Amino acid sequence: MGGLYLDINRDHRNTVFLAGSGRSGTTWVSDVINYKNDYRLIFEPFNPNKVQTCKDFKSKQYLRADDRRKEFLEPAKKIVSGAIRNRWTDRFHKTFLARRRLIKDIRANLLLRWLHANFPEMPIVLLLRHPYPVVESRLRMDWRDNLAETMSQKELIEDFLLPFEEEIRRARTPFERHVFLWCIDNYVPLRQFGPGEIQPVFYENLLAHPEDELDRLFSFLGADFDERVYRKMQQPSVLSNKVSGNRTPDDWRRSAGIPRLKRTIEILSLFGLDAIYGEGPMPNAGAVWNLAKAGERKDGVSDDGNR
């Protein structure tokens, strides 16, 4: 379909924002959410290398919630309202007439609190997947890391990463650098949000317990789902190299290198993320909001840059 469509409702509350780390399954989950093709899919609009509108953004931009700089706010308004048209962002869109939008982005995790502050009532979904298979997938695809650019952001370090800065900057191997990036991607939003503000979705639970995870997801979106969603889950995404129906949460365990897996858990433990993911394949979903509680301060002001 590409650029041939009508987007007839520009209210940001009619937009769903799906965020997650690269190679965590965001394209597949966007297909699941949009299994009836009733959303206009906006694909990774915060990619500054592909979308001129976002030329002022870093590849993993962090912004404090009260940041109102025009060079960031105006492009975001265009994106969440559907005013953006771009060959990159429209590449997988299939519907001619759309009244709702689904934005899928792997570069926006550090923007989520800022987006929530500036576009309230826009539902935000955060996809999580065990970092070991995520990182292994990136390495197989020869992805370069952007850790240096991410760590060049002074406010990000001041607000969240100061306790870990030395360890992060010591990372040398591509594997370690990508694990640290996964931690930053997920640590920051999980410190910034509490229950009910955004919806965490676990990739592994979608595979192992789809009905429960889908019920939580679609309830958060204020929508129902039917049996067609399960058929969609059996189909690979356009960016996948596997058939989704053959996947299990522990596929990666069969070829996992024990030293790398142990190092992954060591890095996770620095951030407290080992409470969610350990050496096993399944997440501890109940621990997902522990980081938000740890970020609360006695004076009632959270230490997430929202002062």
209, 152, 145: which is closest to 179 by C-alpha? 145
Give kind and range of the element (H or E) at residue 19: strand 15-20
| Token pair listed for 103 | 């934005």
* 237 close to 31: Cβ distance less than 8 angstroms: yes
- In the DSSP assignment, the letter for residue 175 is H
Token look-up 């965020």 returns 19
Name residue, tokens 């990136």.
138
Residue range 257-269, pLDDT digits in tens: 999 999 999 999 9
Residues 96, 5: contact at Cβ < 8 Å? yes
CA–CA distance, 246 with 207 (Å, rounded to integer): 10
Intervals of the chain under pLDDT 50:
243-245, 297-305, 307
**Phi and psi at residue 248, to the nearest 5°:** -130, 160
Residues 6 or more apart from 21 whose CB is under 8 A from it?
106, 109, 127, 129, 131, 134, 181, 182, 185, 186
Q: Copy the structure tokens of residue 246.
A: 């053959």
Give CA separation, 64 vs 110, 150, 235, 296, in Å: 9, 15, 38, 17
Contact between 45 and 84 under an 8 Å Cβ cutoff? The reply is yes
In contact, 181 and 138? CB cutoff 8 Å: no
pTM: 0.93
Exposed/middle/buried for residue 263 (C-beta within 10 Å: 0-12, 13-18, 19+):
middle
Q: What is the CA radius of gyration of the chain?
A: 18
Q: How far apart are CA 90 and CA 271, in angstroms?
A: 36
CATH of domain 6-294: 3.40.50.300
**pLDDT value of position 31:** 96
The pLDDT of residue 4: 66
d(CA 146, CA 219): 35
CA distances from 151 to 109, 159, 160 (A): 15, 12, 11
Confidence at residue 219, expressed as pLDDT on a 0 to 100 scale:
98
Specify the pLDDT at position 241: 57
Residue 69, classed as helix, strand or coil, is coil
**pLDDT tens track for 46-83:** 999 999 999 999 999 999 999 999 999 999 999 999 99
Using CB atoms within 10 Å of the CB of residue 60, give its burial: 0 to 12 exposed, 13 to 18 middle, 19+ buried: buried
Length of the chain: 307
